Structure 1
Amino acid sequence: MFLFKLLSFLIGHVSLVVRGESLEKFINMAVSRGIYLWDITRLEGDRVRVKVRLSAINPLRHIARQTGSRFYFQERAGMPFLAARLKRRKMLLAGAIIFVVSLYSLTSFIWFIEVTGTSKISNEAVLRAAKNAGLKRGVLKWNLDTAEFERDIREQLPEISWTGIEIKGTKAIIEIVEKKLPETSENQPAHIVASKEGLVKEVLVLVGNPLVKEGDTVFAGQILISGVIPPTLKEKEIPEQPLSSEQKELLEKESGEPKIVHAKGTVRARVWYESSAEAAIIEQGQKATGKTVSRFGIKIGAKEIILMGKQKIPFKQYKVSSRVKKLPSWRNINLPVEIVTLKYFEIVDFKEERGRAGAKILAERRAMEKIVKQLPANAVMQKRKVEEASAGSRDKNLVRVNVSVETLEDISEKRTFKPE
C-alpha cells in the first residue's frame, strides 16, 4: 500500500467526477483495459467519483465517448502538479532549496541535550559535567566520541554507576543510572502502623508488641505493632506498699529495660470505600468516526504552502490537531520558516437513549471504576451496596447512584523511629 501511494504521488493522480447513464459500463470498460480505479464513491444522482493515475486520462476520454459519459476534475495531486506549481513560482522553489540546504546544515549539529534517569543528582550537575567533557550545544555531531564523553561524566560524578549517550537527530540524550545506597537494615527500630482507617479483623505478630486486637477501630498512622517491647514484669507483681531504696533498685534490675526491635507482622482489617457517579438517560453529543485526513506544508512568514494532502477537507465536522516545528536559531538569527503538519479528525453528532435502567448500570460501573483505582492489590472485596440517589431538580435526565464497598485488606505499614 505504501509503494502504491508513493508511485501514485510520483506520477500524479486525479480525482474525477463521472456523470452519465452508463456508469457501470464506464467502470467495467476501464477495468477491462487495465486502468486501475480506486476510492470509487457513488454520489447523488447519476454521478460517481473515482481516483485514477494521470497517465490514464486520455484512455478514459475514449471510454467516456463510447459510453456517453462525461467527467471533470475535482482534485489534482502528485509530483507533476507540485512541480508545475513550483515552476510558476521560481522564487518559492529557490526558497525551498535554500530551506532544505539550511535544514540539512543545521541538523549536522547538536542543539538539544536531555538528561534522563536522575533522582538525587540534579540535571544541571550532569549538564555541567557534559559541558566540561565537551558535549554542548553547537557541537558537530558526526565527530562525537560518545564512549569518551560517558567515561568523563562518570569520572566527574562518582554518584553515577553507568552513563549512556544516544544521538537522535539534533538531540543528545544522556541516560544516567545512579548508585543505589544499601536498603534500611532490618535491625533498625521500626513500628508497624495503619496505612488507613479500618476495623481490625486479624492480628499476626512475628516480632514486636501488639497494641490492637480484633474489633478495634484504628485510624491512619496509628501504631498497630510497636517496636518497643516493655519489660516482662507485670504490674500485678509490684507490691502495693511503699518500697525501700534497696527494693526499688532490685525491682528495676529484675524488670529490665524495654527492648527495641524491628517490628514484623500483619494486621488485616475491614475497610470501607464510597463513591458516586451519574449517567444520562438520553445522551447527545459528538464523537469521532475514526476517519482522518492529514496535510503537510511549509509556512514562510505569514504565507503557508501545502506540499502534501487535500486542498479541501472532505468532512462536514472535524477537529484539528496541529504540530509545528521551528528551525533552531543560529547565532541569534531566527529564520521565519516553520514545518506545519495538520491532522483532521472527522466527528459526527450522536444520540443514545439508554433508558433509566441502562443509565443506572452505567453510573454504577463508573462509580466502581473510581473505587477500584483506590483498592490495593491485596484487597478482597466482601460486600457491595448500590443505592440510587436523587439527582435533584437540576436535571431529570440524570441517574445518580452511590456505591459503598467493604474489603478485607492488609493495612500494616512499616515506619522507622529513633529510640528515646
Structure 2
Amino acid sequence: MVLARILSFILGYVSMVIKGDFLEKYVNMATSRGIYLWDITRLGKDQIMVKVRISDVRPLRHIARATKCRFKIHQRFGLPFLVDRLKKRKLLAIGGLAFLVILYFLSSFVWFVDVSGAEKLSKDEIKKYAAESGLKPGVTKWGVDTKEVEKSIREKLPSVAWVGVTLKGTRATIEIAERKLVVEDENRGPAHIVAAKAGLIKEVLVLKGQAIAKEGDTVLPGQILISGEVKEEVKPDTTNQPLPEGQDPPEAKFISHYVQAKGIVRARVWYEGYGECPLNEIKENMSERQKTSTRIKFGGKEIIISGPKNSPYQHYKEEMTSKSLPKWRNIEIPVELISVQFKEKVITRVNHGETGAKNVAGQKAIEEAKSRLPNGARIVEERLEEISTGKTEDLIRVRAFIETIEDIGQGKPFKANEEVNY
C-alpha cells in the first residue's frame, strides 16, 4: 500500500468528485477494469470523492458515460504537477534549490559545541582544549578527529576519568566523567550537638558526649543539647588520712575531656502554613492542542516555512525559540531559524462554594506547611483553622498547623577551654 502511494505521487494523481445515481456501479466497473481508486469518501446521497492516478482519468470518462455519472477534478497532486508549477515560477525553484544547497553546505560544518557531565571542571576550559585539538565552531565535520580530541582532553585534564566526543548534525557533544576524589573530614576537633530549631525535647540518645537537654525541655535554635566537653570528677584520696573532727571534705575537682559529640535528639516541632481560595475562580489550563510555526529570518525579512502566521486559538500561550548560526571565520551569517509554538489555553469558571473553597484552601495550607518539613520528620498531628477577618468577602482563608517529631540536633565545632554557656 505504501509503495502504491509513493508510485502514485511520482506519476501524479488527482482527487475528483463523482455525481450520479449509480455510484456503486461506477466504482465496481472501475475496479473490474484494473483502475485503482482510494480514499473513497461519500459527500452526499448522490456524490462521492475519490483519488485516482492521472493516467486512469481518461478511461474513467467511458465508465461515466456508461453509468450516466459525471465527475469533476477537485485537486491535483504529485511530482508532475509540482514540476509544472515550478516551471512557471523559475525564480522560486532556483531560490529553493539554492537554499537546499546552502543548507547542505552549512550542515557540513560544526556550529555548536556542548559539554555535558562537567560538575567541578570549567566548560570553557574543556572547550578551549578541544579547540586546540581542532574541535571548535566553524570547522568541517570530516576535519575533526574525535579520538585525538578525546586523548588531548584526558592528557591536559588529569581529573577527567573518561571523555567521549560525538558529532550529530551541526552539533558536537563532549561528554565528561570526572574522577571522584575522596575528601577527608578536616574537622577532627571537638564539637557540640546544638538545636537546629526550636522544639520540645521528646527523647535524648547520647552516643558520645554529655547530655545537657532532657525530656520535657523547651529549647531554642543554637542551644547545646549534647556537650562535647565531658567532665570527669576526681576525688582526693582520703582513705589513709582520716579528716580532723569538724572539718568538711574537700570539694570535688573535675577534669574535662573534649570529644566530637554524637547522638540523636528528637523533639516535637510545629510548622504553620497558609492557604486561600475564592468562592468563584477562573482557571486557566493548557489543552493538548498546539500549532507550530517555523520561520526563517534573513536580515530584516521573515519567511514562514510551515505553520500559521498567527495563533488559531482565542486563548493561547506563545513560546518562541530562536537559533542563529555562529560566526564562521569572522563572517557573520544573518540567518536565523525561529520556531513559534501556539499552545491553546482553556478558560473555565469554577464555583467552589463555601465547602469546596475550604477544602482547596486547607489543601494549599497543608502543602505549604509540608514544604518546610525536613527529610525524616514524622507527622503526628495535622490541624486546620479558618481565619476570619470580620469582613464579608468572596475568599476563604485557612491556616494549617502540623506537629512533627524529628531529630533537631546538628554539629557545631568549638575550641577546647573556651567558655560555654548552657
TM-score (norm 1): 0.72
Pair 1:36-2:39 in alignment: yes
Aligned residues of 1:26 and 1:69 also touching (Cα < 8 A): no
Q: Which range moved further: 265-274 or 318-327?
A: 318-327
Q: Which range moved further: 119-128 or 279-288?
A: 119-128
CA distance in 2, matches of 1:288, 1:105: 40
Inter-CA distance 350–26: structure 2 relative to 1 (3 Å threshold): farther
1:283 positional shift: 1.5
CA distance in 2, matches of 1:367, 1:416: 37
Aligned twin of 1:403: 400
Aligned residues of 1:30 and 1:36 also touching (Cα < 8 A): no
Pair 1:414-2:382 in alignment: no
Inter-CA distance 116–295: structure 2 relative to 1 (3 Å threshold): closer
CA distance in 1, matches of 2:186, 2:148: 38
Aligned twin of 1:209: 210
Alignment of 1:304-319 (within 5 A): 304-309=302-307, 314-319=312-317
Q: Which range moved further: 328-337 or 271-280?
A: 328-337
CA distance in 2, matches of 1:396, 1:9: 67
Q: Which range moved further: 369-378 or 113-122?
A: 113-122
CA distance in 1, matches of 2:120, 2:222: 27
Aligned residues of 1:82 and 1:307 also touching (Cα < 8 A): no
Aligned residues of 2:135 and 2:149 also touching (Cα < 8 A): yes
1:165 positional shift: 3.0
Percent identity, aligned pairs only, is 40
Alignment of 1:190-205 (within 5 A): 190-205=191-206
Aligned twin of 1:91: 91
Aligned residues of 2:8 and 2:53 also touching (Cα < 8 A): no
Aligned twin of 2:345: 347
Aligned twin of 1:107: 107
Inter-CA distance 26–282: structure 2 relative to 1 (3 Å threshold): farther
Q: Secondary structure at 1:374's aligned position in 2?
A: coil
Give CA-to-partner distance per residue, 1:58-117, whole Å, 9 cap, x none.
78xx7xx989999988xx999888767655543343333333333333333333333334
CA distance in 1, matches of 2:103, 2:411: 57
Alignment of 1:211-360 (within 5 A): 211-226=212-227, 228-233=228-233, 255-256=254-255, 258-309=256-307, 314-360=312-358
Q: Which range moved further: 336-345 or 406-415?
A: 336-345
Q: Secondary structure at 1:96's aligned position in 2?
A: helix
CA distance in 2, matches of 1:51, 1:222: 85
Give CA-to-partner distance per residue, 1:165-199, whole Å, 9 cap, x none.
33343333333314413342795544333332222
Aligned twin of 1:383: 381
CA distance in 1, matches of 2:148, 2:369: 52
Give CA-to-partner distance per residue, 1:249-305, whole Å, 9 cap, x none.
x999x744x323232211111111111111121112443332223333434344444
CA distance in 1, matches of 2:130, 2:5: 45
Aligned residues of 1:116 and 1:175 also touching (Cα < 8 A): yes
CA distance in 2, matches of 1:230, 1:329: 69
CA distance in 2, matches of 1:78, 1:274: 68
Aligned-residue CA RMSD (Å): 4.8
Give CA-to-partner distance per residue, 1:103-140, whole Å, 9 cap, x none.
33333333333333444433333333333444333333
1:334 positional shift: 3.0
CA distance in 2, matches of 1:309, 1:5: 25
1:354 positional shift: 1.5
Q: Which range moved further: 320-329 or 352-361?
A: 320-329
**Structure 2 residue identity aligned to 1:182:** V
Aligned residues of 1:378 and 1:409 also touching (Cα < 8 A): yes
Aligned residues of 2:361 and 2:398 also touching (Cα < 8 A): yes
Higher helix fraction (1 or 2): 1
Aligned residues of 1:13 and 1:51 also touching (Cα < 8 A): no
Aligned twin of 1:163: 163
CA distance in 1, matches of 2:303, 2:183: 60
In structure 1, runs of 5+ residues without a counterpart are 239-249
Pair 1:148-2:145 in alignment: no
1:401 positional shift: 0.8
Inter-CA distance 132–232: structure 2 relative to 1 (3 Å threshold): same
Q: Secondary structure at 1:214's aligned position in 2?
A: coil
Aligned twin of 2:243: none
